[in-house]
Amino acid sequence: MQLLRFLLERMKKTYYLFNSGRLSRQDNTLKFTPVDQQGQEGSARFLPVENVAELYCFGSLDANSTLFNFLGKEGISVHFFDYYEHYTGSFCPREYLQAGRLQVAQALHYSKPKKRMALACKVVEGAGFNMLKNLRYYQGRGRQLDACIAAIERHMMELSGAADVPTLMGLEGNIRQCYYAAFDDILQQDELKLERRSKQPPHNEVNALVSFGNMLCYTLCLDQLYHTQLSPTISFLHEPGERRFSLALDLAEIFKPLLVDRTIFSLLNKRQLSASDFDRKLNGIRLKEGGRKTFIQAWEERLQQTIKHRSLGRSVSYKHLVRLECYKLSKHLLEIQPYEPFKAWW
C-alpha cells in the first residue's frame, strides 16, 4: 500500500497559478478560468484532480467552500502569495496520517531542553555543512572564498558549546551572514548583486530572488510534512508560533543552500534572469510574471533532479529527499535511530 501511494504521488504535479481567476470543481476536474483586470474571462483550463499534487496561487483566487471541501477530500494543499510574492498562508487538508505516539514524543523532545538542543544543533549543523558545500564548489571554479569558508568553519566549531537555543540561533545567523557575504563573488555580476541580506522589503533583485526561493522551500517542506505523521507546528530550532508551521522552517534551513541558492546561482550566472525581469515598486522589488515562470521552471527541474542515495542504494529526487528527512526525524523522536541531517556528498 505504501509503495502504491508513493508511485501515485510521483505521478502528480505541482501547479502554479500566476493569473487571477476563478477556481471551481467540474465533475472530477479542477476548472481554472483566468480573469484580467477589466473583469474579462480568458479561456478555461481543466486540471484532472488525480494529477494535482498541490497548487501555488500568486494572483487573486475566487473560490468557494464546495471547492475546498473537494480539495480536502483529494488531499490537495493550496499555498497563497500576495502581490509582492510574500507567502501569506496555506489551505491544508485534514490530517490523514495521525499518530498520537509520535506527536507525544515530538512534544516531549521540544519540552526537554537537552533533547531540543540536540535536534536544534543538528539542524544548524546540516545547514552550515551544505552552505560550505556550495562555497567549496565555487571555490573550485576559481572564486576567492577562503575568508568566508574559514569564518563559517570557526562558527561551526562553536555549535557544540552553545548553552541554549537562542545562542544557536545567533550562531546560525552569523554563519548565514558569512555565507551571504560570498554571494557577489559567486555571481560576479555588475548588474545584479546581493550586497547585504534584506527581507521586508528586499532592497534589490537578488534579495527578492532569495526571499522568493526561501518561501518556495518553506512550502515544499510543509507539503512533505503533511505526508508524514509529524506535527508541523512543533519545532526545535525555531520557536513554535501561532501563525506559522515552524517545523517546516527548521527543515528548510537544511535544504535552502542546495535547492534555493544553487537555483539562483545557476540562473544568474547563465544570464537567464536580468534586471528587466523585475518590477521596482515603492514597497519593494518583485519578479515579473515572466521572471517568476523562469525561476519556477528551474526550481521544478532542481526538485526532479535525482542523486544516488548512499543508504538506500537507489536514485531519489531532491523533492523526495525532503520527505526522507521527515522520516529520519520521526525515527529519532521514537528513539529508533539517531537523527543526522542531510549533508550533500557530491
The model's pLDDT over 285-315, given as tens digits with 9 standing for 90+, comes to: 889 999 999 999 999 999 999 998 888 888 9
Q: Report how far Cα 296 is from the mean position of its chain's Cα atoms.
A: 12
Q: Kindly state the greatest CA–CA separation across the chain.
A: 61
pLDDT at 5: 47
Task: List Cα–Cα distances, 332 to 32, 111, 116, 237, 343, in angstroms.
Answer: 42, 15, 12, 15, 17
pLDDT at 200: 74
pLDDT at 96: 57
Residue 113 has pLDDT above 70, yes or no: yes
pLDDT at 99: 67
For the whole model, what pTM was predicted? 0.89
Share of the chain above pLDDT 70, in %: 94
Confirm if 212 and 58 have CB atoms less than 8 A apart. Answer: no
Q: Which of 61-75, 180-194, 290-304 has the highest mean pLDDT?
A: 290-304
DSSP state of 35: B
Q: Report how far Cα 32 is from the mean position of its chain's Cα atoms.
A: 25
- Opening angle at CA 82, ends 80 and 83, nearest 5: 140
pLDDT at 280: 83
Rounded mean pLDDT, 185-210: 88
Range in 3-17, 52-66, 140-154, 186-200 the model is least confident about: 3-17
Residue 246 has pLDDT above 50, yes or no: yes
Rounded mean pLDDT, 219-232: 91
E strands present in 69-111: 77-81, 87-91
Confirm if 277 and 290 have CB atoms less than 8 A apart. Answer: yes
Q: What is the edge-to-edge ordering of all strands in the sheet holding 29-34?
A: 45-48, 29-34, 21-26, 61-62
Residue 143 has pLDDT above 80, yes or no: yes
Range in 51-65, 103-117, 229-243 the model is least confident about: 229-243
The Cα 150–Cα 202 span in angstroms is: 28
Rounded mean pLDDT, 317-321: 94
Share of the chain above pLDDT 90, in %: 68
pLDDT, mean over the chain? 90
